[in-house]
Amino acid sequence: MGLTYQSTQNSAMTDLYHVERKEGQYVIALAGNPNTGKSTVFNELTGLHQHTGNWPGKTVVNARGEFTYGGKENILVDLPGTYSLFASSVEEEVARDFICFGGSDAVIVVTDATCLERNLNLAFQVMELTTKVVLCINLIDEAKKKRIYIDGKGIEKELGIPVVMCAARSGIGMTELKEAVIKVARGEVTPAPKLVEYSPKVEKYIHELHSKLSDICDGVPARWLALRMLDGDEKLYQTMASHIGGERLEETVQAAGINVGEVQFEKEMLRDEISEAIYRKIEELKGKYMNEESASNERDRKIDNIVTSRRFGIPIMFLCLAVVFWITIAGANVPSALLAAFLFGLEDKFIQLFHFLHVADWMTGVVILGLYRTLAWVVSVMLPPMAIFFPLFTILEDLGFLPRVAFNMDHLFKRACAHGKQCLTMIMGFGCNAAGIVSCRIIESPRERMIAILTNNFVPCNGRFPTLIAIASVFLITGSSGGIVPALAVSFMIVIGIGVTLLVSFLLSKTILKGIPSTFTLELPPYRVPKIGRVLYTSMIDRSIFVLKRAVVVAAPAGAVIWILANVSIGDASLLTHMAEFFDPFAKVIGLDGFILLAFILGLPANEIVLPILLMAYLANGSMMEYDSLKALRTVLTDNGWTYLTALNTMLFSLLHWPCATTLMTIRKETGSVKWTIVSAVLPTAIAILVCFTTTCIAKLIYLIF
């Protein structure tokens, strides 16, 4: 529809960030750097009574919740974690615009007591935007362990804003924080932030622009706006234009003699000067009010010297990966078997019930042998590995190991012209590619985020692990190797997937997604003991159940369709067999057969049903089946012409082929583009076909030679 009259009025930006509130409710914004415990503060204040969504027009998740103080309910808005408000990323833009135009009654800036000097940079920037600021110094318990002593009262006096010392994980200081922020919102306490003074040259320009801009500020501090105009922040200029009206802003800017974007100061130099002045002030505060014993961080430094070193960093990372897979594979077997026994045991009961009710055989087949059996397969195969993998992943995350993995991998992704954070999204993709796609939001650059989305499929998800593990165990492993060898074999496939990811990222960045790799600030958090309660909640509710629910919704109806294809015959063969014969000539060229290719196509709804479909098609028994043992599986496969080459190509095709339907739907939602969704399906498929064709040609060449 384009711009409308209403959308260009003074209230446009206010409406964009408008928060519905009841009479008497205060809106409190929560800002802070990543890894400061901001989410913990949010959860402690709201008691997990929250809902999430996207900012209007942005792919940045917000969370809003309510907290009660003095018998009255108030709204808490969790802003995206950001290091500054210079708005070089979507997160910074959203945080800045909400503080400017969101109409919040107060802002809490959360900082980490163990690295306060780094976090105060954002606090000073927020203080330039609004006077209603409360500084929350979180993790004081961690600081105490590290023998870091902070004089909160001294900092409060020096900054001119309320300062509250907290340990949100233990609930320490939460009541005081509520009291402080509500007093500020009510106006019972009036903070008087003591702002940083910049160089005389900058201050002179600010002074000159201040009076000219004060008429159009409309709630935004003129000093801060003058700084941004000097900075030539064109995005802010556009935002202000939509807030106060483009013509009015243009007239004022012209009258002030400001040329936005090519002004009096070179942007980088000005930002450096601002940052330098702020950090000088922070150093002054640190000298006066913070005391850190030199040996306090010695343990973390010693660990980091090994974990992030060029020699040991990546080997340690792969060792951890192998151990996590080994625990997942070995640990999932028993619960998976128990779950399968229970669910397939119910199947017999349901069939008896249907017979008792005289339900037609075809209906019993569609509902029980098709829909229910698929459901049982997906739940018994997916849930146990996810229930083990996601908590392990979250523990590594809580421990502070994952940011160090990103640090170690950054130079490899940099060489591939991609973003270092891409490896974090890949790690999430091991559990579920759809979850990995969603996690790409942590990458600020749209170009690099798109590369991460398009390549996330090259790491195998839980749905593909059963196929990889079963085939590796049957064909690639000999002798009594125990559980570790299948884990190593699958780990090798993952190494291939990472290699393909880097190669494709490089090719994309040199062709359809050209651009310069962006730098990013990665703050290495201190090593912390994980909170088991939060780990279980985050892993089971936010990840395992969420992913399983989406897979079930897609896979269960597909089971009914597949049963119909296997049981409706034309001539002397089922539709499933006719379709396999159609694909067979092409499949043979890439070292597979028509049934394998068909199983992958019909497995589009969920990768975990590929192997059952394949067995059902081979045995033509009209319904999905369980394979009793690896030996029985090997017999079925070899009887249908499988060789070591077929096994290798099936594993490679499983690793590299198109994403499942759930992942494709997630890509469509995240990119908002049908074109990129199609690319995300065609690109890996083409690579899978090329790789399998290459291995087949090499194998045939070797056969001819020897």
Annotated binding residues for Mg(2+), written as ranges, equal 43, 46-47
Residue 458 CB: number of other CB atoms within 10 A? 26
CA atoms within 13 A of residue 507's CA, in its CB half-sphere: 10
Residue 566 CB: number of other CB atoms within 10 A? 24
Query: What letter would DSSP give residue 79?
Result: P
Return the H-helix or E-strand segment holding 558. helix 546-567
Looking only at the bridges linking them, the beta strands covering 61-69 and 50-54 are antiparallel
Query: What letter would DSSP give residue 55?
Result: P
Among all chains, which residue has been given the structure tokens 């930006």?
13
Query: What letter would DSSP give residue 70?
Result: T
DSSP for 389-445 reads HHHHHHHHHHHTHHHHHHHHHHHHHHHTTS-TTHHHHHHHHHH-HHHHHHHGGG---
- Residue ranges of alpha helices (H) inside 3-115 are 12-16, 38-46, 90-101
d(CA 595, CA 583): 8
Annotated binding site for GTP: 32-39, 78-81, 138-141
d(CA 689, CA 681): 13
Residue 199 CB: number of other CB atoms within 10 A? 12
C-alpha dihedral (183, 186, 191, 192), degrees to nearest 10: -160
**Is the CB of residue 137 less than 8 Å from the CB of residue 164?**
yes
**Is the CB of residue 358 less than 8 Å from the CB of residue 399?**
no
Token digits for 7? 């959308």
Helix, strand, coil percent values for the chain (each to nearest 5): 65, 10, 25
d(CA 402, CA 393): 9
Annotated binding site: 32-39, 43, 46-47, 78-81, 138-141
Token digits for 312? 């040991």
d(CA 307, CA 40): 26
Return the H-helix or E-strand segment holding 30. strand 27-32
Among all chains, which residue has been given the structure tokens 């891409």?
422
Return the H-helix or E-strand segment holding 24. none
Q: How many residues are given for the chain?
A: 706
